[in-house]
């Protein structure tokens, strides 16, 4: 990232094509993401749902005018832990040709700083079990594997 400043900002609807391309390029995710134009309305509907939520934010990481990464945050307040709030980090993606340049670390540190400034109890995330490099990356940033996650696909 030499001589260029990474900008992390809330994603705009006009960012959708670039954000969709990031997810569609992910071979490990297995979420059925595609850059096929027939799927655009699905992404637009989801974008608008996130944008209208007070507890969710979708971000874009921009470098030299190009989208190079994205992530989403979700704030959850629960009764346990004395009614505290936690930030969940979801859908972290860095453009494949930009990995290893500190973009992912900048995005995660942005989340940590935001959670601290809002008095959150913790920041948490999940990562696909196949993503061993990502696990090492998160551990280098100070995350600890603490729970075992379970999922049930409904469609």
Over residues 26-48, the pLDDT tens digits come to 877 667 889 999 999 999 999 99
Strand-pair category, 85-94 with 66-77: antiparallel
For 11-30, the pLDDT digits (tens) are 999 999 999 999 999 877 66
Query: Which one, of 122, 127, 89, lies nearest residue 108 by Cα?
Result: 89
- Retrieve residue 114's tokens: 């935001």
CATH class of the domain at 7-140: alpha beta
Taking CB atoms within 8 Å and a gap of at least 24, the contacts of 40-47 are 40/16, 43/16, 43/19, 44/13, 44/16, 47/11, 47/13, 47/16
The H or E element spanning position 110 is: helix 103-117
Q: Looking at residue 27, what is its pLDDT?
A: 79
pTM of the complete model: 0.91
pLDDT at 111 over 80: yes
Q: Looking at residue 120, what is its pLDDT?
A: 96
């Amino acid at each position: 990232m030499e001589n260029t400043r990474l900008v992390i900002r809330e994603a705009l609807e006009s960012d959708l094509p670039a954000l969709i391309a990031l997810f569609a390029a992910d071979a490990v995710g297995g979420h059925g993401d595609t850059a096929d134009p027939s799927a655009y309305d699905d992404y637009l509907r989801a974008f608008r749902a996130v944008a209208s939520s007070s507890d969710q934010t979708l971000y874009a990481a921009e470098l030299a005018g190009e989208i190079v990464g994205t992530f989403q945050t979700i704030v959850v307040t629960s009764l346990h832990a004395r009614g505290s709030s936690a930030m969940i980090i979801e859908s972290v993606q860095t453009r494949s040709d930009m990995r290893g340049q500190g973009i992912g670390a900048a995005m995660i540190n942005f989340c940590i700083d935001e959670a601290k400034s809002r008095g959150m109890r913790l920041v948490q995330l999940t990562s696909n079990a196949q993503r061993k490099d990502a696990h090492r990356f998160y551990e280098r940033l100070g995350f600890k594997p603490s729970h075992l996650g379970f999922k049930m696909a409904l469609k």
